[in-house]
Every structure is written in structure tokens, then in C-alpha cells.
């Protein structure tokens, strides 16, 4: 595949490295190369099979719109823009391309979501719950997309709105905790990422999966197929 990676940060660079390991041809566009979506015109995207976005919440939706106009698939690993999901879903439904997004592309985190869903049942039996998330000091959105997804899963499962507490410190890759307390015991679930490799590999495999598909897809719904 010919892949265009948006973003030269730590995750974007790792995505490019893994894509090359998987024998894909890779181009990279930094923010300076892509002002006003200059790298995402139909002419510039000629020959590109899929775009992978690890940029900023402010640019994610314009990037999606540009790829849809060019009938190109895009995988969006950027979070913090999900209030625009209804509009993006409408765009994708009419597009001749696919859009794959996810709060987290790590297989481990998606297994963790399943554990959170099971544990959330405790909120129906007298437990109280909290979500904590920790990330590096450079992360621009808070709470994280992963924590927001956890909150949504808990709400959908139990009907209870659980508070999220966010911390930004040092170079923490990403830690998410779901804690349940009762008068008798404490349940503690934690996912602690030791590197960004799991996120990056999931994004590349997501791009492979997306080829030839049309519409909007959530990584949580497709990761088991990978």
C-alpha cells in the first residue's frame, strides 16, 4: 500500500516505521507541509491508498473532509474532536471512501474496554466508581479519548455517569484506571502503556483493513478481525 502519514510527532513517526516494516510505501506530511490541507488535494493524493492522521483535534475534521472529497480512506488516531462525529458520519455515508476512527488503536486497550464493561455492572450493586487517566505533559486534550470511551461504556452498561480525573505529567505514555469501591471491597482495573507501538501498529493494520470499504467505522468494532 501507499500510505500518507499526517504528523511527525512520536506516534506519527512510529506509525511510519511500522508501516515500512509491513512493507508499505510511506510518505510523511508535517504540519508545515499541510497548511489548509495542502497535502490532501486530489492531485497530491493521487496514488495514495490511505491516509493515517495523528495530528491535533483542531485539524482532524478538516483532514477527514479533504480525504472524503478526494475519495481516499483515512484512519484517524487523533482524539478530542468527537463532538463532530454526527457530521462526519453523514459525510462518510455519502462518500466513496472509508473513515476509521478510534479512541485507542491498541489491542490491549480494546481488551481493557471489555473488562471495564464487565466490571461496570458492579455500579448496579452498591459500588461507586471513578476513572483516572495519566498522559505526558504534551497531550493537548483532556480527558483523553480513551477515558471518554471508558466513561461511555460505563454509562451504557450501568446507567451511571462516572467522573474522570486527568493528570498531565512528564513523559507518561498513557495510563487508564477504573476503580470501584464498596463498603466491603475495592475493584481496580488498570491499563498502563509502556510504549506507543501498540497504538501505531493498530493504526497501520486498520488502514490495511479499511482498503476498499466505504463509510464510518469505529476501531472498537473491527479490531477483533485484525
List residues with catalytic annotation: 135, 139
Distance between CA atoms of residues 105 and 160, nearest Å: 26
How far CA 168 is from CA of 70, 158, 165, in Å, comes to 37, 28, 10
Give residue 117's Cα distance to chain centre.
18
Nearest CA to 134 out of 174, 164, 92, 178 is that of 174
Distance between CA atoms of residues 65 and 200, nearest Å: 23
Task: Kindly give, in sequence order, each residue whose CB lies less than 8 Å from that of residue 140, ignoring residues fewer than 6 positions away.
Answer: 56, 57, 80
Specify whether the CB–CB gap between 30 and 8 falls below 8 A.
yes
Q: How many helices (H) and strands (E) does the chain have?
A: 7, 10
Distance between CA atoms of residues 169 and 119, nearest Å: 28
Distance between CA atoms of residues 6 and 51, nearest Å: 7
Q: DSSP 3-state assignment of 66?
A: helix
- Which grid cell is 86? 454526527
Amino acid at each position: 500500500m501507499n500510505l500518507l502519514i499526517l504528523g511527525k510527532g512520536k506516534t506519527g513517526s512510529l506509525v511510519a516505521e511500522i508501516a515500512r516494516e509491513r512493507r508499505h510505501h510511506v510518505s510523511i506530511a508535517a504540519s508545515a507541509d499541510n497548511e489548509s490541507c495542502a497535502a490532501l488535494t486530489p492531485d497530491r493524493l493521487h496514488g495514495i491508498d490511505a491516509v493515517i492522521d495523528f495530528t491535533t483535534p483542531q485539524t482532524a475534521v478538516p483532514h477527514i473532509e479533504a480525504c472524503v472529497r478526494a475519495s481516499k480512506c483515512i484512519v484517524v488516531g487523533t482524539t478530542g474532536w468527537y463532538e463532530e462525529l454526527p457530521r462526519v458520519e453523514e459525510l462518510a455515508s455519502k462518500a466513496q471512501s472509508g473513515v476509521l476512527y478510534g479512541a485507542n488503536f491498541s489491542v490491549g486497550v480494546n481488551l481493557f474496554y471489555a473488562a471495564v464493561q464487565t466490571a461496570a455492572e458492579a455500579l448496579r450493586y452498591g459500588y461507586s466508581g471513578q476513572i483516572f487517566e495519566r498522559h505526558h505533559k504534551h497531550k493537548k486534550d483532556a480527558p483523553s479519548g480513551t477515558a471518554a470511551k471508558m466513561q461511555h461504556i460505563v454509562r451504557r452498561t450501568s446507567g451511571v455517569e462516572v467522573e474522570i480525573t486527568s493528570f498531565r505529567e512528564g513523559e507518561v505514555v498513557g495510563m487508564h484506571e477504573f476503580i470501584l469501591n464498596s463498603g466491603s471491597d475495592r475493584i481496580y482495573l488498570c491499563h498502563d502503556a509502556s510504549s506507543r507501538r501498540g497504538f501505531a501498529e493498530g493504526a497501520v493494520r486498520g488502514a490495511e483493513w479499511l482498503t476498499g470499504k466505504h463509510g464510518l467505522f469505529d476501531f472498537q468494532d473491527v479490531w477483533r478481525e485484525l
